[in-house]
């Protein structure tokens, strides 16, 4: 079966002080229809930049090369008017902070209706009824009244539900969720994740879930891509990554998770910091922080096949 989303050799460069720096290098992954893929890593590793490049929402100074194919169509080569038809229709995105993503001077109903009229070509009255229906689907009480509220009148959890309603308005085939539960408390976080899982199953929708929370990945995802300093260092099924991690960075992330064993155990942090965009190491980008680094790590490693669907970019397995 052909993948719904096929990213091949994606590279993203930004111009800083008249010089280009590579923020994302040789990123390749696929998402099948109905699959949820988790893109994980520390802040600054290139997760959000990768997702924004798929949506073609990066600033004009960004230089994108490679292929991003949605159902066979290369999004990188599309014009902006062509891309506008795809955004919100075939691909939708839930952004990290709904308070800054929702327009504060427009009622939430107006913002949902705008998308429906643009992509579904229905009358305003029908669009309003559909907006109220969507608010009910995502679990918002008193939808008939709240449709006329402004974003600041809602709680964080309610705003995130509105963002999901907007994203689901045109039944997209791919939903990109960038840290969708970051600012929410644990109870609301669980409700939002349950809602996303339910909607994905009902609509046979694929999800690209961007997060640094491995607990969320274990609960939500079928497949995992681990990024570090703009590169993919390991990828595989959820079971492969959690039961048999191979890259020292993936192991470090898993060791940083608190264990609910009832025993007092000290967390094991990953020493050091992510390298600067202006000062990336020539060889393995994780070598400066890796407890297993040797001289060979001064050279760039290749992706090594561990088992079917499971690869790691590390000299330890070469």
Q: Does the pLDDT value for residue 262 go beyond 70?
A: no
Q: Which of 208, 131, 120 is nearest to 165 (CA)?
A: 131
Residue 274 pLDDT = 87
DSSP assignment string, 281-318: -SS-TTGGG-TT--GGGGSPPPEEEEETTEEEE-GGG-
Please determine, for residue 182, whether its predicted confidence score (pLDDT) is greater than 70. Answer: yes
What was the pLDDT predicted at 120? 80
pLDDT digit string (tens) for 273-287?
Answer: 888 888 888 899 999
Q: Please give the structure tokens belonging to residue 56.
A: 């073609």
Joined tokens for residue 307 = 């088992």
| Structure confidence by residue, pLDDT tens digits, 23-55 | 999 999 999 999 999 999 988 889 999 999 999
Contact 290, 298 (CB under 8 A): no
Distance CA 284, CA 247 (A): 11
Query: 22, 61, 70, 54: which is closest to 178 by C-alpha?
Result: 54
Specify the DSSP element, H or E, that contains 210.
strand 206-211
Specify the DSSP class assigned to residue 15.
E
Say if CB 10 and CB 53 are below 8 A apart: yes
Q: What is the mean pLDDT of the chain?
A: 90
Give DSSP secondary structure letters for 203-260. Answer: HT-EEEEEES-HHHHHHH-SEEEEEETTEEEEEEEHHHHHHS--SHHHHHHHHTSPP-
Using 50, 70 and 90 to split pLDDT, how confident is the model at 61?
A: confident
Find the largest Cα–Cα distance for the chain.
68
């Amino acid at each position: 079966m052909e993948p719904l989303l096929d990213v091949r050799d994606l590279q993203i460069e930004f111009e800083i002080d008249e010089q280009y720096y590579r923020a994302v290098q040789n990123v390749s992954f696929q998402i099948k229809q109905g699959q949820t893929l988790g893109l994980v890593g520390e802040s600054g590793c290139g997760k959000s930049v990768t997702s924004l490049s798929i949506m073609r929402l990066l600033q004009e100074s960004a230089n994108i090369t490679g292929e991003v194919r949605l159902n066979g169509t290369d999004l990188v080569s599309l014009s902006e008017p062509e891309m506008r038809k795809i955004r919100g229709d075939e691909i939708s995105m839930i952004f990290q902070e709904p308070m800054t993503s929702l327009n504060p001077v427009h009622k939430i109903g107006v913002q949902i209706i705008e998308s429906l009229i643009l992509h579904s070509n229905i009358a305003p009255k029908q669009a309003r009824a559909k907006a109220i229906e969507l608010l009910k689907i995502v679990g918002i009480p008193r939808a008939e009244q709240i449709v006329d509220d402004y974003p600041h009148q809602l709680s964080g959890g309610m705003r995130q539900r509105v963002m999901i309603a907007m994203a689901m308005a045109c039944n997209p085939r791919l939903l990109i969720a960038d840290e969708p539960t970051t600012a929410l408390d644990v109870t609301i976080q669980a409700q939002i994740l349950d809602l996303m899982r339910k909607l994905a199953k009902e609509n046979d929708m694929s999800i690209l879930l961007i997060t640094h929370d491995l607990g969320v990945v274990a609960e939500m995802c079928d497949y995992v891509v681990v990024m570090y300093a703009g590169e993919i260092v390991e990828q595989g099924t959820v079971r492969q990554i959690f039961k048999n991690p191979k890259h020292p960075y993936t192991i470090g992330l898993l060791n940083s998770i608190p264990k609910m064993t009832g025993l007092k155990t000290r967390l094991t942090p990953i020493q050091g910091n992510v390298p600067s965009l202006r000062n990336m190491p020539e060889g393995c980008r994780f070598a400066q922080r890796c407890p297993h680094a040797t001289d060979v790590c001064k050279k760039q490693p290749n992706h090594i096949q561990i088992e079917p669907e499971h690869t790691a970019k590390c000299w330890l397995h070469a």
